[in-house]
Amino acid sequence: MSSPAPLIEVHRGDMLESLHSGHAVVCDDSGQIVQAWGDPMAVIFPRSSCKMIQALPLIESGAADAHGLTSEQLALACASHQGAHIHTDRVQVWLDQLGLKDSDFRCGPQWPGDIPARNEIICAHAQPCQIHNNCSGKHAGFLTLNRHLGGAADYELVDHPVQQAGKAAFEEVTDMTSPGYGIDGCSAPNFATSVQGLARAMASFASAGDRSDTRSQAMVRLTQAMTAHPELVAGETRACTDLMRAMDGRVAIKTGAEAVFVAIIPERKMGVALKITDGSTRGAEAAIAAILVKLGVLDADHPATRARMVPEIRNWRGTLCGHVRPTRALL
């Protein structure tokens, strides 16, 4: 096993103050490694970066078409959203279509990341609901699949048919038996895999347009939904949304908690997965931007790129104090 590779440097003045290390892999459409940093076989929890995999059974089962799901709803099934009205209003419509209520969710309540939505709840002297949870779109997908399968109400349990379908899809597209699982922030099981396994899965999504089987068609639909609706996948000011917009819908990217990031690059038939070992969002956003620039699909000079890959460090008075930048090894 290799040690984590230094990927992102943080300088204050002329001195290196912090260093974000991690593992990253780029795979081609055959699942082979094109380039890697750190240990490709490092086992990680993909967290929310694998939501498009978790959404595969929603389409493959026929549930999505049986319920007439739109591309917006498929994007929300892959989302870690801000809880803004553009997210929660759509999830509420989805719940209404199913004839279900907020109490049918199993993701738990969460304060919105969107400041206006948060302030609205505070000013109303109210509390957030489960619909505000950043994973409520994924859970609406789970509820839709569960309705189609006729499963019990506790769809979040690891032995439930909804989660077993997700596990089967996960192991098939990563081409690995998962060594175990943890419970995610939204209460659903999150199955572990290697960084290479996750990149291999993303490469399968990226090359799905070359195949005609049911799973590949589902992969194409989910990727296209994400790139068509980047504002639903995350939200305003978020890296996923801003960077997908910067790439004009050519690439789908998705973050996960504890500094995981993935990318689906159809034009290159490549998939990317990375994990920053200290769990830093700053490190993960800089690293994914740098890799996308290296692969030629993201403009290094785009404002959204610079804001993540090489952000300036300024103090509260606005004085320039330092900067973040990818390591020479990463570039």
Q: What is the mean pLDDT of residues 61-90?
A: 98
pLDDT (0 to 100) of residue 331: 87
pLDDT digits (tens, 9 = 90+) for 286-329: 999 999 999 999 999 999 999 999 999 999 999 999 999 999 99
Contact 88, 131 (CB under 8 A): yes
Longest dimension (CA), the chain: 61
pLDDT at 1 over 90: no
- Confidence class of residue 98 from pLDDT cuts 50, 70 and 90? very high
Task: Give the separation between CA 70 and CA 24, rounded to whole angstroms.
Answer: 33
For 115, other C-beta atoms within 10 Å of its C-beta total: 12
- Confidence class of residue 7 from pLDDT cuts 50, 70 and 90? very high
Task: Give the separation between CA 309 and CA 199, rounded to whole angstroms.
Answer: 21
Which amino acid makes up residue 59?
I
pLDDT digits (tens, 9 = 90+) for 231-245: 999 999 999 999 999
Task: Give the separation between CA 152 and CA 156, rounded to whole angstroms.
Answer: 10
- Confidence class of residue 2 from pLDDT cuts 50, 70 and 90? confident
**Short-list 78, 89, 114, 110, CA closest to 236:** 114
Q: What is the mean pLDDT of residues 42-58?
A: 98
Task: Give the separation between CA 142 and CA 153, rounded to whole angstroms.
Answer: 11
262 bridge partner residues = 254, 273
Percent of the chain with pLDDT over 70: 100
**How many residues are given for the chain?**
331
pLDDT at 159 over 80: yes
Q: What is the mean pLDDT of residues 152-179?
A: 98
pLDDT (0 to 100) of residue 257: 98
Task: Give the separation between CA 5 and CA 7, rounded to whole angstroms.
Answer: 6
pLDDT at 121 over 90: yes
pLDDT (0 to 100) of residue 18: 98
Helices marked H in the chain — which ranges?
A: 51-54, 56-60, 63-66, 71-77, 85-98, 115-123, 136-149, 161-174, 195-206, 214-228, 230-233, 239-246, 281-294, 303-309
Contact 288, 278 (CB under 8 A): no
Q: What is the mean pLDDT of residues 89-94?
A: 98
pLDDT digits (tens, 9 = 90+) for 168-226: 999 999 999 999 999 999 999 999 999 999 999 999 999 999 999 999 999 999 999 99
Task: Give the separation between CA 274 and CA 49, rounded to whole angstroms.
Answer: 10
pLDDT digits (tens, 9 = 90+) for 254-280: 999 999 999 999 999 999 999 999 999
Residue 21 sits at φ, ψ, to 5 deg, of: -105, 165
**Short-list 309, 63, 55, 69, CA closest to 201:** 55
Type and span of the H or E element at 323: strand 320-326
Task: Give the separation between CA 131 and CA 88, rounded to whole angstroms.
Answer: 6
- Confidence class of residue 66 from pLDDT cuts 50, 70 and 90? very high
Q: How many helices (H) and strands (E) does the chain have?
A: 14, 12
**Short-list 300, 277, 278, 282, CA closest to 290:** 300
3-state percent breakdown (helix, strand, coil) of the chain, nearest 5: 45, 20, 35
Type and span of the H or E element at 275: strand 270-276
Which amino acid makes up residue 187?
S
Is 104 exposed, middle or buried (CB count within 10 Å of its CB: 0-12, 13-18, 19+)?
A: middle
Contact 127, 121 (CB under 8 A): yes
Average pLDDT, the chain: 98
Contact 242, 307 (CB under 8 A): yes
